[in-house]
Chain A
Amino acid sequence: MSPLPDRLLEVDGVTVDYDGFKALDGFSLTLDAGEIRVVIGPNGAGKSTLCDTIIGRVRPSAGRVLFRGQDISKLPEHRIAGLGICRKFQAPGVLASLSVADNLGIAAAIDKRWWRSFGFGTPPAEAERIAVILERIGLAGRRDVLAGTLAHGEKQWLEIGMVVATEAELLLLDEPTAGMGPAETTRTAELIRSLAGDHSIIVIDHDMAFVEQLAARVTVMHQGQFLMQGSIAEVRADARVAEVYLGRAK
């Protein structure tokens, strides 16, 4: 029995430099197994860049990213994904000409080596997993519909479903409620809460009502740097946060 909670992710002093502009500037963050963490910050604070760095799309010029203690900041993307990190992008990116079930199937594939693709149909274990997720994201009735024809909110759920289908340990959800109405947002919050425990999740969002429904710890970023961390109430009460974010945005 380990007395400390398992440390899953450690972003350690990471700097990302876009031609002299520091989108991340010595940023650090740690996440325990099973935890949900919300990351907020004004536009351009570097939230999406943080996700990009964790999944290897962007390489840090300084600092390290440790996943279960292993430095992943130099691994190729599909290897990082293979370790159990999966990200939902900010712009909806479902595979438009594939059916809803095939979208989930690609995420759910257990053996992702290319030579395993020479065969027909979905292996039973994956089909089962797909069926469970279709229920969970409320798209069971639309499994054979082309993903490109889904409504905006449904696309977001499908994307969350794809991330979940990978059975990744760490899920990064970049603005999962963008473009959703209040009812859809509430359903999304329920969905994400139901995932905690099985997964650790970093959620990025602007919508404070949504963040409140998640009832999770919040990390505030500003200009690529760590600003503060605490419960949603503490964040709301913090004068610096109000200045850089809440005060200006709302």
Chain B
Amino acid sequence: MFRLKRQFVVAAGVAGVAAFAPFVLGGYDLNLLARFLALSLLALGIVLTWGHGGILSLGQGVFFGLGGYALAMHMKLTPLAPGEVPDFMMLGGLEALPAWWVPFGNPGFALLAVVLVPGIVAALFAWSVFGRRVGGTYFALITQALALAFATLLVSAQETTGGFNGLTDFQVVLGLDLNGAEAGRTLYWVTLLVLALGWAGVAALLASRFGTMLRAVRDGENRVRFLGHDAAAYKIIAFAVAAMLAGAAGALFTLHAGVISPAMVGVVPSIEMVIWVAIGGRTSLAGAIAGTLAVNFARDAISSAFPDLRPYALGLLFILVVTLLPGGLAELLAARFRKVAR
């Protein structure tokens, strides 16, 4: 069913072609594509948890945000002289850097934190929830509450998080001048590479015995448990891996957008993330990437033409896909292929 070699070939092929985008696209379009490729990385995680694990999370924005803020904090600290604090803290009247900010000045720590903080938070969260046999709709509701709480916390802790405006105005990242001529291209390629690796990695995971176990848990969690497996472990791992992908996506997105703010991590964006995957096809990695790109480009076009219509258009599309085409775009394409092959 899930042929690994073919996935690798497709991932490498798509990445190879996409690597030429900087020579074709203008700066604005390249930046959009780079942002949406970063979001696609998060979508891969939703395929893993929702598509193959049956775990619907409406709180992926939290992990996206944790990754984004981790890198943003580092970038805020890089240009500072010793003893200085970031601009927004000064405005808020803080004289010294809060202790929990300090380690993010170290690039190695910040990069690890981008994936490990979301991963660890997700693992602990999933362990406490799945360990108690909470699943399905309740799990979706709890993750949504988590997203709400996280966004609210960020806004309320203004002096240390930048509040509603978030963190912005970055100068350099790991020695790369973000205002330089090469920054756009370089970051685009980095994003593409990370996405290709993420794609290959998740494909390998899904093709392994772990993938089979995860689908087994989705089909019949009780059954798997009574066959002697620790069903919750598979769900916890899938959820943590998805969170790490979301964290990396958040960091890359922050680089391209030049800002991370509570508006990008709350309830509404978290729901939109699920919609991209639903539209692309929730069990297909290629489908999820295609869905993310298609929805976001369409959304960008609609937003500039009719700014008020966006939420309605997205909602309508979601309803249509879920009712008429539960397998998403991927299913539509697969059906076409089968017809052609016959």
Contact = CB atoms under 8 A, between A and B. Distances in A.
13 contacts: A57-B226, A82-B228, A93-B220, A94-B223, A95-B216, A97-B215, A102-B212, A102-B216, A105-B212, A106-B216, A107-B227, A114-B229, A120-B4
A98 interface: yes
Nearest 7 interchain pairs by C-beta: A81-B228, A114-B233, A95-B219, A117-B210, A117-B209, A93-B223, A95-B216
A106 B229 contact: yes
Contact of B213 (A87, A117, A122): A117
A118 interface: yes
A117 B212 CA distance: 9
B229 A109 contact: yes
Interface in A95-135: 95-99, 102, 105-107, 109, 112-114, 116-122
A55 interface: yes
Contacts of A118: 208-210
Contact of B227 (A57, A99, A106): A106
B54 to A, nearest CB: 10
A86 B234 CA distance: 21
Given A96-B219, A98-B216, A166-B227, 15 more contacts: A89-B222, A93-B220, A93-B222, A93-B223, A97-B218, A98-B219, A105-B212, A112-B227, A112-B228, A117-B213, A120-B4, A120-B207, A121-B209, A122-B209, A166-B228
B226 A81 contact: yes
B334 to A, nearest CB: 15
Interface of A: 55, 57, 77-78, 81-82, 86-87, 89, 93-99, 102, 105-107, 109, 112-114, 116-122, 162, 166
B300 interface: no
B15 interface: no
B215 A95 contact: yes
A78 B223 contact: no
Contacts of B225: 77-78, 81
B238 to A, nearest CB: 11
Contacts of A122: 209
A78 B228 contact: yes
A242 B39 CA distance: 68
Nearest to B208: A120
Given A81-B228, A114-B229, A114-B233, A89 B223 contact: yes
Contacts of A105: 212
A122 B219 CA distance: 20
Contact of B234 (A77, A81, A82, A117): A117
Contact of A112 (B207, B208, B229): B229
B237 interface: yes
A107 B209 CA distance: 13
Interface in B1-20: 1, 4
